[in-house]
Chains A and B, each alone.
Chain A
Amino acid sequence: MRFALSAERLAFAASLHDLLAAADTPAVARGFAAGDYEPGRTLWKRLAELGVAALTVPERWGGLDAGPVDVVVAFEELGHHAVPGPVVESAAAAIVLAESGVTTWLTDLARGEVMASVALPPHVPYALDASVAAPVLAVEHDALSRVDATGGARSAAMSSVDPARRLFTVTGGEVLARGEEVRRAAAHAFELGALATAAQMLGAGRALLEMATGHAKARVQFGRPVGSFQAVKHRLADVYVALELARPLLFGAAIAVADRSEAAARDVSAAKVACAEAAYRAARAALQVHGAVGYTRECDLGLWLTKVRALMSAWGTGTVHRARVRAALAGREVRR
């Protein structure tokens, strides 16, 4: 058994990193927060050229049908660079649509021509960035609806702790599909969305550790870099440990989802819990190491910190995901 990313996947991650590092993503995120969506849409189209938008779309609709491991590789880099917009939602919407037999938007989604949003209550009650998305979908019980159609309604935009995110409650609309396959599609989309969100948090946590480490090397107090003090070193070492321990859970969960393993829900939830805790630990440490400058809107650190805080409760809170692990453990045979 080999448990490591292939050279192709490492190259995919590196190409995404190169594109995003040169794209001034903090400016894109700030633009999104200010209601200027065009740079975000343009960035999404460029990511689509590298295949990101097509990952969860079946091949016959121009997609890559790439599977959860590639999704995790890509979304870790999106989180690493704080890419704004309904990116997880677009990937999840493609699954809901394709597996419910609704093919209308799949080709456009694969090309990055449109972004979609989706509400999957109870754990995903809001449609993220519905103002930039089309279609906006919602699954209620076994019915898949398009909310941005006749009869549909969405609330006014609600602001998030992450200024780049806008949340909407959605109701009504046109029913696109109904039945057991919708229920199954929504369940699958939830696992993938939670996994992609966990991946974004791992990437964001890495970015926060990089910022904190860079600052600790450069900032001089008492005549020496603050990173030479053990209190700072040990805090950042603990962040590194948490991130390094969350990573194998994330990839293990991606493999479990790909294999349609019975343990997939447990493993996705374990990954979401661990990635959230690690990223949050990174956010707290990065802020503390930066000191007051980290607490300013001007400092990019806040883009990642608020994104992590938002993603912690998106696609299932820690409580929700711990309960899923607990349920799996409660019903499981213990080896002696």
Chain B
Amino acid sequence: MIFEEEYYAAGAPARVSQNGIFLLAPTLFAHGTEEQRARLLPRMARADDVWAQAWSEPEAGSDLAAIRSVAVRADGGWLLRGQKTWSSRATYADKGFGLFRTDPTAERHRGLTYLLFDLRAAGVTVRPIPQLDGEPGFAEIFFDEAFVPDADVVGEVDQGWRVAMSTASNERGLTLRSPGRFCAAADRLVDLWRRVGDASEAAPADRVVDAWITAHAYRLRTFGTATRLLEGGTLGPESSVDKLVWSELDVALHETALELLGAEAELSGPDGPDGGRWLSGYLFSLAGPIYAGTNEIQRDVIAERLLGLPRGDRR
């Protein structure tokens, strides 16, 4: 947390390695073999291998357990068949990780396996998808008999759901969405307000105050989460709270900045104020309530697993 706080306060850039170090690495710590950790982690840390996640499929978005892509037994490993989509960073990444159906007779959450694959391997095709903000941030991946050796199975075969979910909390808070990132953005917003805000207008000032309060609250809350982890606790459904907090904060923060910027707010790229960072940050923030499990799914998790309300029509 301290490193992340300083990293973002210094205005350091987003890290190309983040999906590896924040999502796959914790999974390998918990479920990987000694051999996998020794082979994969140093190259990941040096960004020699850039990793992409591959969870969603055309028919499996919020309903992730509807995954159809399969891994079929082959000599010494598995052959992948199917399609993944909205794969962040796959456009330029070297390797990917995701869930594949290994037991075609099993239903839903059962019979899935957590596999690592080479994005440059024969039988793998990557098609970039331009995003709302114009960046090729995510891609479709097509698998046509792409080979994965047994050494690249993480955890037990057919136990992939448990493996993936045990570290899904990392994406919802704490590391990948460290408070330092939002505290730094809130500080920049305060700075913007002091530079361009009209002191006689209370409404935008209140929005600045509320964004700062939420960032400050998220930071303190994460101290509490860190304390819980240090004392032997685990990240559970509570991380859905974090995901709602940072994703909505990020949108509110950038909306407030655009409000403060007046007519200049629509100017994009180098034509825009502060090099266009507020507008690009705003466009990026709009994805937050969708990825890492939509905010609707997170609210379901909170209602059912933390408040104990009955499950609805979802299976």
On A, residues with C-beta under 8 Å from B are 1-4, 209, 213, 216-217, 224-225, 227-230, 232-234, 236-238, 240-241, 244-249, 251-252, 270, 273-274, 322, 325-326, 329-330, 332, 334-336
Contacts and interface: CB of A to CB of B under 8 A. Distances in A.
29 contacts: A2-B227, A2-B230, A3-B220, A3-B226, A213-B309, A227-B303, A228-B310, A230-B300, A230-B312, A233-B303, A233-B312, A241-B241, A241-B244, A244-B221, A244-B238, A244-B241, A245-B217, A248-B221, A249-B216, A249-B217, A249-B220, A252-B216, A252-B220, A322-B210, A325-B209, A329-B212, A334-B190, A335-B184, A336-B11
A248 B220 contact: yes
Contacts of A270: 213, 216-217
Given A217-B309, A225-B310, A245 B218 contact: yes
B213 A238 contact: no
Contacts of A233: 299-300, 303-304, 307, 309, 312
A66 to B, nearest CB: 21
A195 to B, nearest CB: 15
B144 interface: no
B150 to A, nearest CB: 42
Contact of A248 (B224, B230, B312): B224
A156 B137 CA distance: 67
Nearest to B194: A330
B308 interface: yes
A228 B311 contact: yes
A247 to B, nearest CB: 8
Given A2-B230, A233-B312, A245-B218, 16 more contacts: A3-B223, A216-B309, A217-B308, A224-B310, A234-B303, A236-B303, A237-B303, A238-B244, A245-B214, A248-B217, A248-B223, A252-B216, A270-B213, A329-B212, A334-B187, A335-B184
Interface of B: 9-11, 184, 187-188, 190-191, 193-194, 205-206, 208-210, 212-214, 216-218, 220-221, 223-224, 226-228, 230-231, 238, 241, 244-245, 296, 298-300, 302-304, 306-312
Given A4-B227, A334-B190, A237 B299 contact: yes
Interface of B is mostly: helix
Contacts of B213: 249, 270, 273-274, 325
Nearest to A249: B217
B206 A322 contact: yes
Given A217-B309, A227-B310, A230-B312, A4 B224 contact: yes
A274 to B, nearest CB: 6
Contacts of A2: 227, 230
Given A329-B190, A330-B194, A246 B217 contact: yes
Nearest to B310: A228
Residue among B11, B188, B221, B300 with max Cβ neighbours from chain A (10 Å): B221
A207 to B, nearest CB: 14
A227 B303 CA distance: 9
A330 B205 CA distance: 10
A144 to B, nearest CB: 32
A261 B243 CA distance: 30
B53 to A, nearest CB: 25
10 closest residue pairs by CB, A with B: A233-B303, A248-B220, A3-B223, A237-B299, A237-B302, A227-B309, A234-B299, A228-B310, A248-B221, A4-B227
Nearest to B218: A245
B122 to A, nearest CB: 44
Contacts of A251: 220
Contacts of B228: 4
A325 B213 CA distance: 9
Contacts of A248: 217, 220-221, 223-224
Contact of A240 (B205, B241, B311): B241
A234 B306 CA distance: 12
B172 to A, nearest CB: 13
B224 A238 contact: no
A329 B183 CA distance: 13
Contacts of B221: 244-245, 247-248
B300 A322 contact: no
Contacts of B238: 244
A335 B11 CA distance: 10
B212 A325 contact: yes
Contacts of B220: 3, 248-249, 251-252
Contact of B309 (A228, A246, A334): A228
A180 to B, nearest CB: 31
B303 A217 contact: no
